[in-house]
Amino acid sequence: MRVVIAEDNALLREGIVLLLRSAGHEVVAVVGTGPEILPTLLEHRPDAAVLDVRMPPDFRDEGLRAAREARARIPGLPVLVLSQYVEEAYAAELLQGGADGLGYLLKDRIGRIDEFLDALERVAAGGTALDPEVVTELLTRRRDTPLDSLTPRERETLKLMAEGHDNTTIAKTLVVTERSVSKHIGNVFLKLGLPPSDSGHRRVLAVLAYLDGRRA
Residue 161: which CATH number?
A: 1.10.10.10
Q: Which has more pLDDT, 76 or 148?
A: 76
Adjacency order of strands within the sheet including 2-6: 26-31, 2-6, 48-52, 79-83, 102-106, 128-130
Phi, psi of 102 (to 5 degrees): -130, 145
145: which residues sit within 8 A by CB, 6+ positions away? none
| 196 and 105 housed in the same domain | no
- 13 Cα distance to chain centroid: 19
Number of domains in the chain: 2
Distance CA 18, CA 11 (A): 11
Say what the pLDDT of residue 161 is. Answer: 83
- What is the rounded average pLDDT for all residues in the chain? 85
Alpha carbons within 13 angstroms on the beta-carbon side of residue 178 total 6
From the number of C-beta atoms within 10 Å of its C-beta (0-12, 13-18, 19+), residue 188 rates as buried
Q: Are residues 201 and 116 in the same domain?
A: no
Q: How many CB atoms lie under 10 A from the CB of residue 56?
A: 13
Domain termination residue (choose one: 77, 103, 131): 131
Quick: pLDDT tens for 12-21.
999 999 999 9
Residues 12 and 33 in one domain: yes
Q: Answer whether residue 137 is part of any domain.
A: no
In this prediction, residues 188-193 reach a mean pLDDT of 81
Residue 15 domain-assigned (yes or no): yes
Could you tell me the residue range of the domain that residue 175 belongs to?
142-211
Which pLDDT belongs to residue 214?
41
- 216 in a domain, yes or no? no
Query: CATH number, domain at 43?
Result: 3.40.50.2300
Asked whether residue 42 is domain-assigned, the answer is yes
Q: What is the pLDDT of residues 107-158, one digit of tens each?
A: 988 888 998 999 999 999 988 888 888 777 766 665 566 777 889 999 899 8
195 within a domain of the structure (yes/no):
yes
